[in-house]
Amino acid sequence: MINLFKVKAKQRAENPNGTAPIKKQSAGELRVHKDIGELNLPQSCGISFPNGKDDLMNFEVVIRPDEGYYIGGTFVFSFQVPPVYPHEPPKVKCKTKVYHPNIDLEGNVCLNILREDWKPVFNVNTVIYGLFHLFTQPNYEDPLNHDAAAVLRDNPKMFESNVRRAMVGGYVGHNFFPRCM
């Protein structure tokens, strides 16, 4: 049987100044801390922590493509890392409304390494490079935005025109896209 008074006395002895004990980090937090410390981002990408550096499990990544259809745009992604990371991928949402075959109008991202192809050896850097790649090589074969995918597949010049119209702030079809340049 556990004697609670002895447990409390032991805790006070281990922490004699009476301050709150230091919270132990979960395995996921430790891994994210390591991943962020080892980031090797392209110059066109950045990371920020809107909740402060104490909350490494929620952060934002900004991607500014320097080539392809989306050159000159600024796209913000929110990352929510689950406690069981790296056994499950981070939840990633695009906060910038974008005309893109692999990103729907609600910000959901279609990237295979965030779904069925996730492996625990992948890290935050891998995901950011995957997102960056979506802007340099959009994929019409695995779309979330089927209309954008069909235009990219059937008429790349019109797709390029639609991307430009959306990025400067305008309508593509019935959808308005705020300026992201």
Where in the sequence numbering do the catalytic residues fall? 110
What are the φ/ψ torsions at residue 170 (nearest 5 degrees)? -175, -175
CB-CB contact of 124 with 31 (8 Å)? no
State the virtual CA torsion across 98, 93, 105, 146 in degrees, nearest 10.
Answer: 90
CB-CB contact of 81 with 58 (8 Å)? yes
CB-CB contact of 100 with 145 (8 Å)? yes
User: What distances in angstroms separate CA 38 from CA 34, 60, 80, 133, one per listed residue?
Assistant: 6, 16, 18, 20
User: What distances in angstroms separate CA 17 from CA 10, 24, 70, 102, 127, one per listed residue?
Assistant: 13, 18, 56, 54, 43
State the virtual CA torsion across 63, 90, 175, 155 in degrees, nearest 10.
Answer: 70
